Structure 1
């Protein structure tokens, strides 16, 4: 599977999501004098940006409008790796005198050999899908729409089957966390989840906390990841 390509498109989609939403809002205002959140979502889903519709649907229309700018700043997979590297490095330096502290340069997705990128990408995408389900907004109709968008984005049949299976699974932070083969992957998964959720929503905040626990994130690393996300995403 080429999970990296799909994940890159989804993470990059925020830029076009916001452009489509702004265009939809402007067009709606010119017609009716008011904003149209649904028009913005449909503008993204209906044939606008590559990957934008899938990301909008995964995030939910309200969340996508609120968080789309953050995804735009976040950029693609390499950008996520850069932020994870900075957070992990800061945490390492702050804890290097403690017993058992990890030494050496963090092997985040932007720094690993090509052969390892798929492992990171698949784990991160699982985290993205899980976080999208955290508020319970994805129903059967939305699943069909999301599958349709993924069908449009990629012709990788194995990846499409895998994505659909992940989307249909009951939400289980412990199962998702099992994809974290390294501490760096765990950090990346948590960081990607931060992009997808609204931390003001009780269900989503509870999911994030449980995911961090299942990922066995050091509390100080969790704080650092959240700080770097806030600094990088604005």
Structure 2
């Protein structure tokens, strides 16, 4: 079971009026600040959650996209690897199962923010198991739940809208089991505190919070309260939260 393609569908559809702007801004800002090429390569290489396409899944299809000529004879990688991948995700240029590239974009942005904060604090970031933890099916489900909880807070995504998004995914992109799991998540309120209990790694917590941040406009008290409760439940340092908001050009927490 994998939820990467469903998350990609949600981001492509736009869970709030600011979803596309924030994801695009985050990718462009990360590209400009540098140091994301190796991170992105690691997340693409993880290839988690592949459906169809001969098993090539995320890694093969996203790398194909980055390698092809996109604008003015330049490849996606030359334009800006993360920015090009985010643009392809939002514009439909990745197509099909490569919507799973959403987890590569989210993972790279979250890890960039978390690692930069660690470096600023003078802390030595752990180096083992990060990508595997951030691309696991368990993490995909946590990200999805955080996004659904955010949508419940602002009322932008109801069961009818979710069915519309699921209907745009082929059977190769989302199995019936995955679709049913999403419906079950939509049918019950998301408790940020219970969600936080299931997250033990700070880099995963950063990715989960980022998913929720992309899902709301942050223009109501309910949205701000949800994000604050989620950050507290995930035990995120204030500096990490501020860095995520700055990277995606979101209102200050």
Shorter-chain TM band: 0.5 to 0.7
What pairs with 1:104-143 in structure 2 (closer than 5 Å)? Answer: 104-105=126-127, 108=130, 111-112=131-132, 116-138=135-157, 142-143=158-159
Q: Distance in 2 between matches of 1:201 and 1:150?
A: 27
Report the Cα offset of residue 72 of structure 1: 4.8
Q: Distance in 1 between matches of 2:203 and 2:151?
A: 21
2:42 aligns with none
2:61 aligns with none
Instruction: Report the TM-score, using the length of structure 2 for normalisation.
Output: 0.60
The reply on whether 1:212 has 2:238 as its aligned counterpart is: no
The reply on whether 1:88 has 2:110 as its aligned counterpart is: no
2:73 aligns with none
**Conserved? CA contact 1:151–1:160, under 8 Å:** no
Q: Distance in 2 between matches of 1:133 and 1:160?
A: 18
**Conserved? CA contact 1:197–1:204, under 8 Å:** yes
Report the Cα offset of residue 148 of structure 1: 4.0
SS of equivalent residue, structure 1 residue 164: helix
**Conserved? CA contact 1:132–1:197, under 8 Å:** yes
What pairs with 1:69-218 in structure 2 (closer than 5 Å)? Answer: 69-72=21-24, 75=86, 76-96=102-122, 103-105=125-127, 108=130, 111-112=131-132, 116-138=135-157, 142-155=158-171, 156-218=175-237
Q: Distance in 1 between matches of 2:199 and 2:244?
A: 16
2:81 aligns with none
Q: Distance in 2 between matches of 1:119 and 1:181?
A: 12
Distance change >3 Å, CA 170–CA 102, structure 1 → 2: farther
RMSD: 2.6
**Conserved? CA contact 1:88–1:106, under 8 Å:** no
Report the Cα offset of residue 171 of structure 1: 3.4
- Please tell me whether Structure 1 or Structure 2 has the larger radius of gyration of its CA atoms: 1
SS of equivalent residue, structure 1 residue 121: helix
- Cα displacement string for residues 102-155 of structure 1 (whole angstroms, at most 9, x for unaligned residues): 6323855xx3379x53222111111111111112344xxx41342243144153
SS of equivalent residue, structure 2 residue 132: coil
Instruction: Report the TM-score, using the length of structure 1 for normalisation.
Output: 0.64
Consecutive unaligned residues of structure 1, counting only runs of 5 or more, are 14-51
Alignment: residue pair count:
173
Q: Distance in 1 between matches of 2:137 and 2:156?
A: 28
**Conserved? CA contact 1:177–1:215, under 8 Å:** yes
**Conserved? CA contact 1:3–1:121, under 8 Å:** yes
- The structure 1 segments of at least 4 consecutive aligned residues displaced by more than 6 Å after TM superposition are none
Distance change >3 Å, CA 159–CA 88, structure 1 → 2: same
Greater relative contact order (Cα < 8 A, sep 6+): 2
